[in-house]
Structure formats: structure tokens, C-alpha cells
Structure 1
Amino acid sequence: MMGPVLAACLLIILSTAWISQANGATCKKDGGVCTCNDQTKNVDCSSKGLTAIPINIPTDTDNLKLDYNKLSSLPSNVFHNLKELTNLNLQYNELQALPVGVFDHLVSLDKLVLNYNKLKSLPPKIFDKLTKLTLLYLDTNKLQSLPHGVFDKLTELKTLHLLNNQLRSVPEGAFDKLQNIKDLRLEENPWDCTCNDILYMAKWLKKKQDEGLGGVDTAGCEEGGKAVLEITEEEAAEDCVYPNTTTAIPTTIITTLASSNDDDIPELPVPQENFQKFLGYQEPDHLPTQPQCLMSISGYLGLMMSLVLTSAAILYVIHFLKKA
């Protein structure tokens, strides 16, 4: 009877090794590119030239550093297994857009660092699930506008950095739910103080200045050098409409085409690059780096070896059970 028992033990050991190989490929100790600390639950993937986030990041990770890489996009489900994460650092990458729902499972997140990227816009509700967030860095991007209510769920937020973007105004009520905000950085944006869209921000900043909010007096108008919080209704009297960040077809062209016969419609050349961007297609900017390729190859080889050994152990168990 010892034969089947030994075989069963061997099967358990091999299965454990296989799971460890499959789940640990991110860390250097298992052939990955990142440094993992089991005691502190930190995973450091900084400065690795990564063009994609490594797979199988440990699910109990508390602090994930992905800064100083070449990430230009994120899969929408890339962080879905990291519910214990409290600190996510993505600064100094090449992110151009954030997919809807990418942060929705990070319910324990306390700090989110996204500065020094190339973000032009934010999806609506992108931060709605991050109700424990206390720090959010969005500075030094290319943000041209903010969605309505984008910060409404961040009632615990204490630090918000929006400096060095392309913002000309903020939506009405953008900061109203930031009850615990202590540090708000808004400078180095082209704030348009001639349009009445700026009045909400001016009044809110003027009110918060008396409460000791940091950074409020550094937000200056694009023209004239006057502080935004000093702008009056007389100075910001114009109704301004800012162009959307997406490319729209002028109404006159649509009307002309709709009223013309098919034979009269001129054939407009459309550059292939623009057409692909319109459809949402993008060529990959970077090929996988050598460490990533090696990590993938070693992971697959380890997986195949584990499967072979596991199969052998199963056959061994069946053989002894038949004899028993």
C-alpha cells in the first residue's frame, strides 16, 4: 500500500511546483524581470524597458512599481486580480489612454501615480471604484479636459496634482466632493479667464484659500498673469465652446453631402493612418524586450515539464491502484 501513497505524495509535490512555476514567472527568482519581496508584498518592475505589464503578478501584492518603462497602453483587465494593492506607480511611461474599468477592482488602492505620461483625456467614471484613494498624481500629461464628475467618488482624496497639462477650465462641480483635499496643484495650465466656464473654479478656489488649501494661488490665467481666483464675472463674460478632443466632421460638409446626389459627391482621399486611428487600430510601438521573451520561453518550458511529470505521476498512481 505504500506505493500508491508515495505516488500520491509525488503528484501533490509536482502539482505544487507547477502552480508555483505558473504564478511566479514575474519575479526574478523564477526567471522573471521584476524584484519581488514576499515579506513586504512589494513588486518592483521599474526601469525594465517594459512594453507590456508582466503576467502573473502575485495576487497579494501591496505595492506595484511600473514606473520608468515604455508602456503605451493597458489591457482593461490587467489589474483585476490585485484587490490587495494599495500603491500603484505608473509614472514616466508613454500611456496615451486608459481603458474603461481598468482600475475598477483596485478597491484598496490608496495612491495612484500617473504623472509624466501622454494622457490626453480620461474616460468617464475611471476613478469611481477607488473610494479609498488619498493621493492622485495626473500632472505632466496632455489632458485637455476632464469628464463631468470624474472626482465625485474620491471623498477621501487629500492630494490631487493636475499641474502641467492643457486644461482651460474644469466642469461645474468638479471639486465639490473633495471634502478632505489638502493639496491641489493646478499651475502650468492654459486657464482661459475670458470664458465664464472658469467662474466655478475661481469661486471654489477663492473659498478654499481661506481654508488653507495648498496650491490655490498658483493657478494663473493664460493671458495677463492674473490668479484664477481673482477673476470676476465681468472679466469672464464670454460663452466659450471648446473643441472636443475627437475629430468631428464640419456640419456644412455633412449638409452638402446629404443634399447631393451620389454621382456628385467628390471622392475624398483619406490617409490610411488616419483611417486606422478612426477605427481604433494602432500598430504596436514596441516589440517585446529580451527579458520578456526569455521570461515567456522559460515559463512555457517549465509549464510543459511540469505537465509531463504530473502526467507520469498520475499514470503511476493509476498503475498501483489497479494492482491494489
Structure 2
Amino acid sequence: MMGPVLAACLLIILSTAWISQANGATCKKDGGVCTCNDQTKNVDCSYKELTAIPSNIPTDTDRLVLQGNKLSSLPHTAFHGLSSLTYLSLFNNKLQTLPAGVFDELKNLENLRIQQNQLKSLPPKIFDKLTKLTLLYLEYNKLQSLPHGVFDKLTNLKELWLQSNQLRSVPDKAFDKLSKLEKIFLTGNPWDCTCNDILYMAKWLKKKQDEGLGGVDTAGCEEGGKAVLEITEEEAAEDCVYPNTTTAIPTTIITTLASSNDDDIPELPVPQENFQKFLGYQEPDHLPTQPQCLMSISGYLGLMMFFVLISAAILYVIHFLKKA
């Protein structure tokens, strides 16, 4: 009767070994996709065509490089447990949104690189916990606006990169708390110098230029080619009204439609995304992706081998039971 006992032990050993491999499949030395350096605490997962962040990144990681992948979304828990991170690169991915709180546990982070993605907006307070941040790279996205106070907690920030987005203005007092800022990059945005919302930025840039802050004189108006810091109150006298900033239908239109015949009702072009928001629909923060424990080919091969050995062990047990 020792045969079945040995077979059962083999099953347990194989199960434990495979689970251990699956749970530790982040680093190449364990069959994962990332290069890990135990001495420098550096985990490099760049240019691996990843659609999800690998699981079980070592908790003592200091530098995490995820650039050059195919990440289109992140779960809000993506970096939980990585409080030792000082450097995080998400450069050159396909991120369209950032979930609120995704960086909240990265209280030691100093360098955050999110440039060259597809971000159109930022959640309010997205950087509030990053009080040690010194470098923030947001250039080459599609940012159309910034939340009020989004940089207020970044009192140690030295460089802010915002060039080549779709910003037309910044919120009032957007840069006032950045007392240690040494460089700011704003060129390549369609700054609207006819709108009075630009006046805060114009005055701030003028003041910082006089104080010797670098990079401030490159921000030019979308029309006319004039530098933003040269704009006067007379030139920026118009109120700011930008299209697609609200989903509400004006009351006058509703009244007109109510008093009209069905045949006379005009078709109102409502963008699909605005219509979904009007109905209360929201996209989930993170769509399901491939299982993270099987991020590499070796993971798949290990799984196949596991099932083959399991099947052999089961047949072995059955054989001995028939003899008994």
C-alpha cells in the first residue's frame, strides 16, 4: 500500500512547487518576465508587451520600470505594498485614465514618469500623498484640463513637465504651492490668450521669469505667437467658454422641444461619452486582463507540465488501488 501514499506525496509536492512558481513569477530567475536586481532593488519590466502589471513585485523594490508596454488601465491597488518605491516609470504605455488613489501608498516616491500616454484628465488629489516627489513627467499626453489644487501637496517638486498636451489654461493658483520649483515646461499646448483664465498663468510666469525660473518663456499663445507671460488684461478680456464642458441641456432648448411637434424636433448631436455620463454610466477603473501569475511562456509550460504530472499520479493511484 506504499504506492498510493507515495503518489499522494508526489501530488502535494508538485502542487506546492507549481504554486510557489506562480506566486513568484515576476523575476526572470523564477520564470517571470522582469529583470530583478536584489542589490539595487531595481525591477525592470520594460518593453515586454505587458497588458497588466506583474503580480508579486518584491515589496522592498526601490525602482520599478514599466515603460514601453501596452498598459491601458490600472487597478487602484496596482502599487499597494510598494511603499519603498522612489522611482516609478509608466512612460510610453496606453494609459487613458488613472484611478483615484492609485499612488496613495507611494509616500517615498521622488520620480514619477507618466509621459507619452493617452491621459485626457487627472483625478482630483491624485498626487496628494506624494509629498516627497521632486520630478513629475506628464508631457506628451492629451490633458485638456487640470483639477483645482492638483499640485498643492507637491511642496518638494523641482521639475514639472507639462509640454505637448491640450491645455488651454490652468486653474487659478495652480502653481502657488510649488515653492521649490526650478523648472517648468509648458510649450506645445494651445494656450488661449484671448480668455481671462490665462491671466493667472501669465502673471505667475512673468514673476517666475524675473526670479530666474527656467523654461517659462517658451509657452506661447495658440494664436498670434505671443508669449503667454506678455499677455495683458485688455488682451485676455473674454470669458472662457469651451465646447463639451457640460452634459446639461439648456432649459430654453427643453422648453422649445416641449412646445414643438414631433416632426419639427431637430436632432441634437450629443457625444456618446456625454450621453453615457448623462445616464449615470461609468466605465470601470480596470478591465479584466490575462491572469497575472501566467505572464510568461514558462508559466504556461509549467501549468501544462503540472497537469500532466497530476494525471500520471492519479493513474498511478488507481493502478495500485486495483491491485489492492
Q: Paired residue for 2:185?
A: 185
Q: What's the offset of the Cα at 1:29?
A: 1.0
Task: Using the TM superposition, give the Cα deviation of residue 122 of structure 1 relative to its aligned residue in structure 2, in angstroms.
Answer: 0.4
Aligned to 1:213: 213
Once the 2 structures are TM-superposed, how far is the Cα of residue 15 of structure 1 from its aligned partner? 12
Q: CA deviation at 1:151?
A: 0.1
Deviates more, 1:276-285 or 1:140-149: 276-285
Aligned: 1:240 with 2:240? yes
Aligned position for 1:318: none
- Uncovered stretches (5+) of structure 1, i.e. residues with no partner: 1-12, 306-324
Aligned residue in 2 for 1:148:
148
Measure the CA separation in 2 of the matches of 1:299 and 1:62: 29
User: Please, which of 295, 302, 316 is the counterpart of residue 292 of structure 1?
Assistant: 295
Instruction: Give 1:23 deviation, angstroms.
Output: 4.2
1:1-324 equivalences in 2 (<5 Å):
21=21, 23-243=23-243, 247-255=247-255, 259=258, 278=277, 279-281=281-283, 292=295, 294=297, 297=300
Equivalent residue pairs, number = 291
What is the CA distance between 1:31 and its match in structure 2? 1.2
Tell me how far apart the structure 1 counterparts of residues 69 and 77 of structure 2 sit (CA, whole Å).
19
| Secondary structure of 2:128 counterpart | coil
Corresponding letter in the other structure for 1:227: A
**Which amino acid in structure 1 is aligned with residue 282 of structure 2?**
G
Cα shift readout 1:127-169 (whole Å, capped 9, x = no counterpart): 0000000000000000000000000000000000000000000
The structural deviation recorded for 1:243 is 3.7
**TM-score computed with the length of structure 1 as normaliser:** 0.78
For 2:35 and 2:225, how far apart are their aligned partners in 1? 47
CA RMSD of aligned residues (A): 3.7
Paired AA for residue 195 in structure 2: C
Q: CA deviation at 1:25?
A: 1.1
Deviation of 1:33 (Å): 0.8
Q: Deviations over 1:153-194 (max 9, x none)?
A: 000000000000000000000000000000100001010111
The DSSP-based 3-state class of the residue aligned with 1:210 is helix
Relative to structure 1, is the Cα distance of residues 15 and 41 closer, same or farther in structure 2, using a 3 angstrom cutoff?
farther
Give, in angstroms, the shift of residue 210 of structure 1.
1.4
The percentage of counterpart residues that share the same residue type is 70
C-alpha change, 1:174 and 1:281, in structure 2 (3 Å) is closer
Q: Structure 1 residues 153 and 224 mapped into 2: Cα distance closer, same or farther (>3 Å)?
A: same
> Is the CA contact (8 Å cut-off) linking 1:31 and 1:298 kept in structure 2?
no
Letter in 2 for 1:128: D
Deviations 1:248-286 (A, max 9, x none): 5454454456x579x9998x8999x76996523479698
